[in-house]
Amino acid sequence: MKRFFPILLFLMLGIVSFAGDPVKPLPAKAQAYIDKVKQQTRSEYDARHITDNESLSSSFKAIRGTKSGTKVTFDEKNPEAGVQVWFVVSWYRMLDNDVPTGEEIEAEFNCDAAPGAIAYGAACALYRGCPLTIGLKPDRFFEETGLHSSITLTHEELIAICSSKL
């Protein structure tokens, strides 16, 4: 029995380490970003979401001008689509271009204190080796007009941005 225990322990350690590794090898700084987001979000969200395969959806700190209903999702069946972070904005604010600026969105990648949806989504995308899409959707008239706006960052762009935030 004693002989089997170290083997079992060794196997378990192997599984844990596999579950915790990103899909693609990452530079040390990008890995450090994931670790920091995990550490920072532990109290607010379930940090396991970063490493498990469930669809991600939660309430996150809103950016200026956005409403509740922010969603972070990842579709296992369509991994190429990457991690998606969608904010809801009043339709008239979108039309008046009164929406978060590029600088404000970039600032949301900071992971120093209470990271929001973007930092969380970025950590997920880094881990999964996929792109990150950040989008704004109106609270009304989406179906009638298709009004929305989004930006997609490639995995490489994401590594560069996140590494610079450490």
Binding footprint of other proteins on the chain (CB under 8 A)? 90-92, 95-96, 139-141, 144-145, 147
How many other CB atoms are there within 10 angstroms of residue 116's CB atom?
22
Q: Determine the Cα–Cα distance for residues 155 and 39; give it in Å rounded to an integer.
A: 22
Using the minimum distance from each CB to other proteins, give the nearer residue, 29 or 93: 93
Compute the CA torsion angle 50, 53, 56, 60 (nearest 10 deg).
Answer: -10
Nearest distance, CB of residue 140 and other proteins, angstroms? 6
Tokens of 76: 């296992």
Using the minimum distance from each CB to other proteins, give the nearer residue, 47 or 95: 95
Compute the CA torsion angle 125, 119, 160, 147 (nearest 10 deg).
Answer: 80
Nearest distance, CB of residue 141 and other proteins, angstroms? 6
Nearest distance, CB of residue 125 and other proteins, angstroms? 29
How many other CB atoms are there within 10 angstroms of residue 81's CB atom?
14
Nearest distance, CB of residue 24 and other proteins, angstroms? 38
Nearest distance, CB of residue 69 and other proteins, angstroms? 12
3-state SS of 90-109 is: CHHHHHCCCCCCHHHHHHCC
Using the minimum distance from each CB to other proteins, give the nearer residue, 95 or 105: 95
Using the minimum distance from each CB to other proteins, give the nearer residue, 39 or 145: 145
Using the minimum distance from each CB to other proteins, give the nearer residue, 80 or 96: 96
